[in-house]
Amino acid sequence: MMPSGMRVAIKRLKEGVEVCHFLDEICEKAKIRHPNLVGIIGYCNKGDQSLVYEYCLNGDLATWLLGDRMTSILTWQQRMNISIGIARGLWYLHHNPLKKICHGDMKLTKILLNEKLEAKISDFNLSRYKSKEKTGQEKIANDVFNFGILLLQIMTGRKSTSIAEARDAVLRKGSLSGLADPRLNGAYDSAAFQNAMSIAVHCTNPSERERPNMEEVLQKLEQIQTQILVRTNCKDVIY
């Protein structure tokens, strides 16, 4: 906690990080601001080199979906909001006007939730885009694949949903209701669930070239959200 009373998160860096590299990364990260990215507040280069980040009250998404929060289950609407938030943050990283960034390690533990249960992507590494192991486009495609896995986990509440099972059901245009998180107790929009699962399957296409980009993914998720609101409003009018 800061002297002002503001709660923050401290991340100590590994030993051996050069000071010049440390300061360069801080300066670059400080320029990257988005509502769905964990913001950097400051740093400490005395003793242990540390980064100071905004504090996310509700922890990581893995705890909510796979942990012991038996009394706090994410609702269908919260899951949709979180999915869209992650997509917005990842889209921003991929299309950042200052520097295109690949996250490189998208998974449930990297998604933090603030007091409003809004998604915040953490631990994006500015240097990952420069990696010579893969081209920038290949690493972006890998981010999309990992987002697809995240979306499957958010929708199903499972640690490892069978991509093959989901893909088979989508291609056959069969029902995917059996894959929905049972803790939702059926309280979800079945058409929206089907569409969201279809997006996840497309993101995890074995062919990198066949995967959508995050702009396309975001647009489709926002369309699903709009369709849900339209159907909800229609029901209110009817009843």
Closest CA to 152 of 139, 136, 170, 137: 170
pLDDT at residue 225, as a whole number = 94
Whether the domain at 8-54 and the domain at 61-238 fall into the same CATH topology:
no
SS3 for 99? coil
pLDDT at residue 59, as a whole number = 92
What is the DSSP code (8-state) at residue 3?
Answer: T
pLDDT at residue 98, as a whole number = 80
What are the structure tokens assigned to 12, written together?
């100590």
What are the structure tokens assigned to 76, written together?
């269908």
CA atoms within 13 Å, Cβ hemisphere of 74: 30
pLDDT at residue 88, as a whole number = 98
- Annotated domain spans of the chain: 8-54, 61-238
Architecture of the domain whose range is 8-54: 2-Layer Sandwich (3.30)
The residue from 48, 60, 105, 181 that is catalytic is 105
Question: Under CATH, domain 61-238 is a member of which superfamily?
Answer: Transferase(Phosphotransferase) domain 1 (1.10.510.10)
Q: Output Rg (C-alpha) for the chain, integer angstroms.
A: 19
Give every residue of the chain whose pLDDT is below 50, as ranges.
238-239
Determine if the pTM surpasses 0.75.
yes
105 in active site:
yes
pLDDT at residue 19, as a whole number = 57
**Could you read off the pLDDT of 111-139 as tens digits, one per residue?**
999 999 999 999 886 555 555 556 678 88
pLDDT at residue 70, as a whole number = 54
What are the structure tokens assigned to 73, written together?
């289950």
8 A C-beta contact, residue 154 and residue 65: yes
